Amino acid sequence: MAKKEAPDIVVGRLPLYLRVLNQLLEEGRTTTNSQELGGRLGLSSAQIRKDLSYFGGFGKYGAGYDVAYLREQLRRILNLEQVWPVILVGAGYLGHALANYQRFIENGFEIVAVFDSDPNKIGTQAGIHVVLDVKDLEKVIDEKGVVIAILAVPMQAAQKVADRLVNAGVRAILNYAPVRLNVPDHVKVQDIDPVARLQHMAFYLSDAEVNPEENT
Protein backbone atom coordinates (compact mmCIF):
# COMPACT_ATOMS: atom_id res chain seq x y z
CA MET A 1 0.00 0.00 0.00
CA ALA A 2 1.32 3.45 -0.90
CA LYS A 3 2.41 5.56 2.01
CA LYS A 4 0.13 8.40 0.96
CA GLU A 5 -2.84 6.19 1.83
CA ALA A 6 -1.78 5.79 5.45
CA PRO A 7 -3.80 7.90 7.93
CA ASP A 8 -1.96 10.93 9.24
CA ILE A 9 -2.21 9.61 12.81
CA VAL A 10 -0.25 6.53 11.68
CA VAL A 11 2.41 8.65 9.96
CA GLY A 12 2.66 10.65 13.18
CA ARG A 13 3.63 7.51 15.11
CA LEU A 14 6.44 6.50 12.74
CA PRO A 15 8.97 8.96 14.24
CA LEU A 16 8.22 7.41 17.65
CA TYR A 17 9.03 3.97 16.28
CA LEU A 18 12.19 5.37 14.70
CA ARG A 19 13.25 6.86 18.05
CA VAL A 20 12.87 3.50 19.80
CA LEU A 21 14.79 1.71 17.04
CA ASN A 22 17.63 4.22 17.43
CA GLN A 23 17.65 3.51 21.16
CA LEU A 24 17.75 -0.24 20.52
CA LEU A 25 20.71 0.15 18.17
CA GLU A 26 22.53 2.21 20.80
CA GLU A 27 21.90 -0.65 23.23
CA GLY A 28 23.51 -3.08 20.79
CA ARG A 29 20.28 -4.84 19.92
CA THR A 30 19.84 -6.49 16.53
CA THR A 31 16.26 -7.76 16.71
CA THR A 32 13.00 -6.70 18.32
CA ASN A 33 9.30 -7.46 18.05
CA SER A 34 5.96 -5.69 18.14
CA GLN A 35 5.47 -6.52 21.82
CA GLU A 36 8.70 -4.79 22.82
CA LEU A 37 8.09 -1.79 20.58
CA GLY A 38 4.58 -1.46 21.95
CA GLY A 39 5.75 -1.79 25.53
CA ARG A 40 8.27 1.01 25.13
CA LEU A 41 5.67 3.32 23.62
CA GLY A 42 2.55 2.38 25.56
CA LEU A 43 0.88 0.89 22.48
CA SER A 44 -0.47 -2.57 21.79
CA SER A 45 1.53 -4.97 19.65
CA ALA A 46 -1.49 -5.18 17.34
CA GLN A 47 -1.34 -1.43 16.79
CA ILE A 48 2.37 -1.63 15.91
CA ARG A 49 1.74 -4.39 13.36
CA LYS A 50 -1.25 -2.58 11.87
CA ASP A 51 0.67 0.69 11.50
CA LEU A 52 3.64 -0.97 9.80
CA SER A 53 1.36 -2.98 7.50
CA TYR A 54 0.44 0.24 5.68
CA PHE A 55 3.96 0.33 4.29
CA GLY A 56 4.74 -3.32 3.66
CA GLY A 57 6.03 -6.39 5.49
CA PHE A 58 9.15 -5.75 7.54
CA GLY A 59 9.35 -8.74 9.87
CA LYS A 60 9.23 -12.52 9.84
CA TYR A 61 6.57 -14.44 11.71
CA GLY A 62 8.01 -15.65 15.00
CA ALA A 63 11.32 -13.85 14.40
CA GLY A 64 10.31 -10.22 14.86
CA TYR A 65 12.09 -7.34 13.19
CA ASP A 66 15.69 -6.71 12.24
CA VAL A 67 16.32 -3.41 14.05
CA ALA A 68 18.76 -1.90 11.54
CA TYR A 69 16.64 -2.89 8.55
CA LEU A 70 13.40 -1.57 10.01
CA ARG A 71 15.13 1.65 11.00
CA GLU A 72 16.37 2.23 7.46
CA GLN A 73 12.96 1.42 6.01
CA LEU A 74 11.25 3.93 8.29
CA ARG A 75 13.84 6.55 7.36
CA ARG A 76 13.06 5.91 3.71
CA ILE A 77 9.31 6.13 4.29
CA LEU A 78 9.74 9.41 6.18
CA ASN A 79 11.97 10.86 3.42
CA LEU A 80 14.93 11.08 5.77
CA GLU A 81 17.51 9.72 3.33
CA GLN A 82 18.63 13.29 2.70
CA VAL A 83 19.39 16.32 4.83
CA TRP A 84 16.58 18.87 4.53
CA PRO A 85 17.51 22.57 4.56
CA VAL A 86 15.32 24.48 7.01
CA ILE A 87 14.90 28.18 7.70
CA LEU A 88 14.02 29.61 11.10
CA VAL A 89 11.95 32.79 11.30
CA GLY A 90 12.19 34.47 14.69
CA ALA A 91 15.39 35.14 16.65
CA GLY A 92 13.98 35.71 20.11
CA TYR A 93 14.70 33.50 23.11
CA LEU A 94 12.89 30.53 21.54
CA GLY A 95 14.53 31.11 18.18
CA HIS A 96 17.99 31.12 19.77
CA ALA A 97 17.24 27.87 21.57
CA LEU A 98 16.07 26.27 18.32
CA ALA A 99 19.08 27.59 16.40
CA ASN A 100 21.36 25.86 18.93
CA TYR A 101 19.43 22.58 19.05
CA GLN A 102 21.86 19.92 17.81
CA ARG A 103 19.33 17.14 17.28
CA PHE A 104 17.97 18.78 14.13
CA ILE A 105 21.10 18.06 12.12
CA GLU A 106 21.53 14.66 13.78
CA ASN A 107 18.11 13.65 12.46
CA GLY A 108 18.23 14.99 8.93
CA PHE A 109 17.30 18.68 9.22
CA GLU A 110 19.79 21.54 8.89
CA ILE A 111 18.90 25.10 9.77
CA VAL A 112 20.51 27.07 6.96
CA ALA A 113 19.33 30.60 7.83
CA VAL A 114 17.73 32.53 10.68
CA PHE A 115 15.56 35.63 10.11
CA ASP A 116 14.04 38.43 12.14
CA SER A 117 12.47 41.83 11.53
CA ASP A 118 13.87 43.52 14.64
CA PRO A 119 16.81 45.81 13.72
CA ASN A 120 18.34 45.04 17.13
CA LYS A 121 18.48 41.32 16.28
CA ILE A 122 19.52 41.54 12.63
CA GLY A 123 23.27 40.97 12.36
CA THR A 124 23.55 39.28 15.75
CA GLN A 125 24.49 35.65 16.23
CA ALA A 126 21.96 32.81 16.62
CA GLY A 127 23.75 29.51 16.90
CA ILE A 128 26.23 29.41 14.01
CA HIS A 129 24.14 31.83 11.96
CA VAL A 130 24.09 35.59 11.62
CA VAL A 131 20.46 36.72 11.84
CA LEU A 132 19.24 37.97 8.47
CA ASP A 133 16.66 40.62 7.69
CA VAL A 134 13.28 39.01 7.05
CA LYS A 135 13.00 41.13 3.90
CA ASP A 136 15.44 38.64 2.31
CA LEU A 137 13.23 35.65 3.13
CA GLU A 138 12.12 34.82 -0.41
CA LYS A 139 15.61 35.25 -1.86
CA VAL A 140 17.17 32.76 0.57
CA ILE A 141 14.34 30.24 0.18
CA ASP A 142 14.92 30.26 -3.57
CA GLU A 143 18.71 30.14 -3.38
CA LYS A 144 18.84 27.27 -0.90
CA GLY A 145 15.86 25.27 -2.19
CA VAL A 146 14.06 25.41 1.15
CA VAL A 147 10.66 23.74 1.54
CA ILE A 148 10.58 23.49 5.37
CA ALA A 149 10.37 26.41 7.79
CA ILE A 150 10.21 26.85 11.55
CA LEU A 151 8.03 29.73 12.71
CA ALA A 152 8.93 31.24 16.10
CA VAL A 153 7.39 34.71 15.82
CA PRO A 154 4.74 36.54 17.89
CA MET A 155 1.20 35.45 17.14
CA GLN A 156 0.37 38.83 15.59
CA ALA A 157 2.97 38.29 12.87
CA ALA A 158 2.53 34.56 12.31
CA GLN A 159 -0.08 34.55 9.54
CA LYS A 160 1.65 37.27 7.52
CA VAL A 161 4.96 35.43 7.68
CA ALA A 162 3.27 32.13 6.87
CA ASP A 163 1.72 33.67 3.76
CA ARG A 164 5.14 34.79 2.59
CA LEU A 165 6.62 31.36 3.25
CA VAL A 166 3.88 29.60 1.28
CA ASN A 167 4.11 32.03 -1.63
CA ALA A 168 7.87 31.46 -1.73
CA GLY A 169 7.44 27.68 -2.05
CA VAL A 170 7.60 26.39 1.52
CA ARG A 171 5.46 23.26 1.89
CA ALA A 172 5.92 22.40 5.57
CA ILE A 173 5.84 24.70 8.61
CA LEU A 174 6.66 23.85 12.22
CA ASN A 175 4.64 26.53 14.01
CA TYR A 176 5.51 27.66 17.54
CA ALA A 177 3.19 30.68 17.41
CA PRO A 178 0.03 30.13 19.51
CA VAL A 179 -2.32 30.70 16.58
CA ARG A 180 -3.87 28.52 13.91
CA LEU A 181 -2.42 29.26 10.47
CA ASN A 182 -4.55 29.40 7.35
CA VAL A 183 -2.58 27.71 4.58
CA PRO A 184 -3.43 25.84 1.35
CA ASP A 185 -4.18 22.14 1.56
CA HIS A 186 -0.82 21.18 0.05
CA VAL A 187 1.07 22.84 2.92
CA LYS A 188 1.60 20.76 6.07
CA VAL A 189 1.56 22.57 9.42
CA GLN A 190 2.56 21.11 12.77
CA ASP A 191 1.67 23.25 15.79
CA ILE A 192 3.85 23.22 18.90
CA ASP A 193 2.17 25.00 21.82
CA PRO A 194 3.83 24.20 25.19
CA VAL A 195 1.24 26.25 27.12
CA ALA A 196 -1.63 24.25 25.64
CA ARG A 197 0.19 21.03 26.56
CA LEU A 198 0.66 22.21 30.14
CA GLN A 199 -3.01 23.19 30.34
CA HIS A 200 -3.94 19.75 29.08
CA MET A 201 -1.88 18.08 31.81
CA ALA A 202 -3.18 20.44 34.49
CA PHE A 203 -6.67 19.03 33.93
CA TYR A 204 -5.51 15.75 35.50
CA LEU A 205 -3.96 17.37 38.58
CA SER A 206 -6.70 17.55 41.17
CA ASP A 207 -6.39 19.78 44.22
CA ALA A 208 -6.16 16.66 46.37
CA GLU A 209 -3.12 15.47 44.45
CA VAL A 210 -1.35 18.83 44.31
CA ASN A 211 -2.09 20.02 47.88
CA PRO A 212 -2.90 16.88 49.91
CA GLU A 213 -2.28 18.64 53.24
CA GLU A 214 -5.16 21.03 52.52
CA ASN A 215 -7.55 18.10 52.33
CA THR A 216 -6.72 16.42 55.65
Q: What would the CATH number be for the domain defined by 84-198?
A: 3.40.50.720
**Which neighbouring-strand residues pair with 109?**
84
At 69-96, the pLDDT tens digits run 999 999 999 999 999 999 999 999 999 9
The pLDDT value recorded for residue 57 is 78
Ramachandran region, residue 213 (left: φ > 0; alpha: ψ -120 to 50; beta: rest): alpha
Average pLDDT, the chain: 91
Q: What is the mean pLDDT of residues 46-65?
A: 85
| Pairwise CA distance, residues 215 & 192, whole Å | 36
Instruction: Say what the alpha-carbon torsion angle 50, 54, 59, 60 is, to the nearest 10 degrees.
Output: 80
Which pTM was predicted?
0.87
Q: Where, residue-wise, is CATH 1.10.10.10 in the chain?
A: 3-77
From 3.20.20.70, 3.90.1150.10, 2.60.120.10, 1.10.10.10, which CATH number describes the 3-77 domain? 1.10.10.10
At 127-154, the pLDDT tens digits run 999 999 999 999 999 999 999 999 999 9
| Pairwise CA distance, residues 174 & 189, whole Å | 6
At 179-212, the pLDDT tens digits run 999 999 999 999 999 999 899 999 999 765 656 5
